[in-house]
Amino acid sequence: MKKPAILIDLDRCVGCQSCTVVCKMENDVELGEFWTKVVHMGPYGKFPDLQMYFMPKLCQHCEEPSCVDVCPTGASFQREDGIVLIDHNKCIGCQFCVMACPYGVRHLDKRSGVVTKCTLCAHRIDAGEEPICVKSCQQRSRIFGDLDDPNSEISKKIQAAGDKVYTLTDTGNHPKVRYILQKADWKG
Amino acid sequence: MEIQWHLVFYTLLVGAGVGVFALVAISELMGKGKQYHMSGSIISLVLLALGGFASFLHLQHPERGANILGNFQSPITQEMYLAVVTGLFILLYIVMIKIEASTLSKKVMAGLGLVFGILLVFFSGLLYVFPARPAWNTLLLPLIYFTSSLSLGIFVLYSWIRFKKLEEKAVSDFAMKALSALLILQSLLLVGYLVFLSANPYPDPTRSIGRVMGGDLTAFFWLGVVLVGLVVPLFLVFQSIKPKAGHSLPPLTIGAVGILATLVGGVAFRTLMYLLGTTVEKF
């Protein structure tokens, strides 16, 4: 079984926000809301030894998604390949999934009254394409692939980076997005 | 996240309804307070229904509510069934009073309503205990939900008893003792919550003790949660238990001010919870 995931090489990201913009265009994300965005980390340290990096954030498509566990209608669900999605025809807009997400990546779409978030561009993946944020990343910072395939680019990159591969804080949900950071100290 | 006002009032009203019924059920078990068993149970059901209505208003798509019914693994579905079962036991208790059923069957039904009600109130707070939101990730939170809403319910029934002059001294005394125990417990829980905030494993300025003890939420906490929600009701309770000669407050005043104070205090604590409820990671 394939395990599609995104790896983000933070050493390459320049914070251009093109992923943020194309994601909004591709997925018709509500004005003022985001499915992915790039957060500035730092600067840290003491002059002249300062560090900073750019941190793209998005739904982590967790292995044990707490948002799915709390959903009272089954609208939030996990596909067999691990992608976490929301069936908008079942969602009642109770927002308990928003409360249960440690990363704050879900929001209530006020236009439709349902909760929305990054789908990992499942519609594109199913058509054999990459998520739009990966395709449009001019720095090739985002890499999409199969975590279960040791020969995939994503698996090789993770292996090569050794202990410089990170995830966001794990509160028991096991986030799946991987981050590589070698040129600065990881601050989460 | 934004304050979910409907859920604030849902948890408070449901807890108040259970608080009213708790006093009815205990007096039933004690063999006292026959005059207000029926009216108290009806008040309890009305409060539960109002809470249910607040919860209904919270939903963006209530027309899809039927999707909840079969999803037993979700704690929200479990809570809904718990609320229905509690309401059902209270309703059955009312029916038993109406048909003048045996004392034993009334006691059993009152006891069942009490047990399920207590579970419901605790569970309705437990739903918010998420590792995702460090300021919520403690059992102190459902316990404070429990004490604050039950106190409100007991003040409601106390006021009703006094208003209708259905006074039975033993029950009124018991109500005041229960209130004092709940409110003292709540003050200890609040101290515990402040300690919890200061020792949180995921520290962040948005959910820090500093916001409550010297930051933008200080006035809100001390005035709303502590002064109005705790000190005023405790003062009223002690006034009722040991009135000072020449300075005693009329019972109806104690009841009415008590309702108002515990209502404001309950809303204030729940609001504080949302204001501190930021996620582990910022987005």
- Is A102 in Cβ contact with B279 (below 8 Å)? yes
ipTM above 0.85, yes or no: yes
Handedness of CA B85, B86, B89, B95 (dihedral sign): negative
Q: Using CA atoms, how far apart are residues B171 and A183, in angstroms rounded to an integer?
A: 71
In a domain, A186, yes or no: no
H/E stretch holding A180:
strand A178-180
Query: How many angstroms separate the CA atoms of B158 and B173, rounded?
Result: 10
Domain range summary for chain B, segments of one domain joined by +:
5-276
pLDDT at B121: 97
Under DSSP, the state recorded for A29 is: P
d(CA A167, CA B26): 52
With a CB cutoff of 8 Å and minimum separation 6, the contacts of A116 are A29, A30, A33, A35, A86, A88, A106, A107, A108, A109
Domain-embedded: residue A126: yes
pLDDT tens-digit readout, B98-130: 999 999 999 999 999 999 999 999 999 999 999
pLDDT at B1 over 90: no
Q: Measured between alpha carbons, how far is B69 from B78 in angstroms, rounded to an integer?
A: 9
Q: In chain B, what is the greatest distance between 2 CA atoms, to the nearest angstrom?
A: 60
pLDDT for residue B107: 96
Asked if A162 has any chain B CB less than 8 Å from its own CB, the reply is no
pLDDT of residue A1: 80
Structure tokens at B157: 């029934």
Q: Is A97 part of the contact surface with chain B (CB cutoff 8 Å)?
A: no
Residues 16-55 on A with a CB inside 8 Å of B are: 34, 37, 39
What CATH number should be reported for the domain whose range is B5-276?
1.20.1630.10
Q: Please report which confidence band the pLDDT of residue B246 belongs to, taking 50, 70 and 90 as the band edges.
A: low
Helices (H), B230-283: 232-241, 251-276
| Average pLDDT for runs of 10 along chain A of length 188 | 94 97 97 96 94 97 96 96 97 96 97 97 97 96 96 96 97 97 92
The predicted structure's pLDDT at residue A173: 96
Q: Tokens standing for B173? A: 């005394």
Would A187 be classed as within a structural domain? no
Residue of B174, B122, B173 lying closest to B150 (CA atoms)? B122
Whole-angstrom distance, CA of residue B109 vs CA of residue B103: 10
Chain B CB contacts of A39 under 8 Å are 282-283
% of chain B exceeding 70 in pLDDT: 99
Is the CB of A84 inside 8 Å of chain B's CB atoms?
Answer: no
pLDDT tens digits for range B76-94: 999 999 999 999 999 999 9
- Nearby residues of A175 by Cβ (< 8 Å), 6 or more positions away: A60, A61, A62, A63, A103, A167, A168, A169
Q: How far apart are CA B221 and CA B95, in angstroms?
A: 43
State phi, psi for B271 to the nearest 5 degrees: -65, -45
How far is A178 from A176, CA to CA, in rounded Å? 6
Tokens standing for residue A66: 């707490």
Strand partners for A109:
A114
B1 chain-A contacts, CB cut-off 8 A:
95, 98-99
List of chain B residues whose C-beta atoms are within 8 Å of the C-beta of residue A93: 59-61
Structural domain range at position A115: 4-180
CA dist A36 and A103 (Å) reads 11
- CA torsion sign, B101 to B107 to B110 to B111? negative
CA distance B74 to chain A (A): 5
Return the pLDDT at B244: 72
Judged by CB atoms closer than 8 Å, whether chains meet at B279 and A100 is answered as no
Bond prior to A48 in cis (omega within 30° of 0): yes
Structure confidence at residue B283 (pLDDT): 87
A-chain residue closest to B65, CA distance: A92
Mean pLDDT value of segment B226-237: 96
* Residue matched to tokens 């999803």: B71
- CB A73 to CB B67 under 8 A? yes
Count CB atoms within 10 A of the CB of residue B277: 21
- Report the largest interatomic distance among the alpha carbons of chain A, rounded to a whole angstrom: 54
Please tell me if residue A94 touches chain B, with a CB cutoff of 8 Å: yes
Report the CATH number at residue A48: 3.30.70.20
* Helical residues (DSSP H) of chain A, grouped into ranges: 18-27, 66-70, 96-100, 122-126, 132-136, 153-161
In chain A, which residues have their Cβ closer than 8 Å to the Cβ of B278?
104
What pLDDT is stored for residue A26 in this prediction?
Answer: 98
Q: How far apart are CA B184 and CA A127, in angstroms?
A: 62
Question: Could you tell me if A141 and A121 are in contact, meaning their C-beta atoms sit under 8 angstroms apart?
Answer: no
Q: Are A180 and A161 in contact (CB under 8 A)?
A: yes
How many structural domains compose chain A? 1
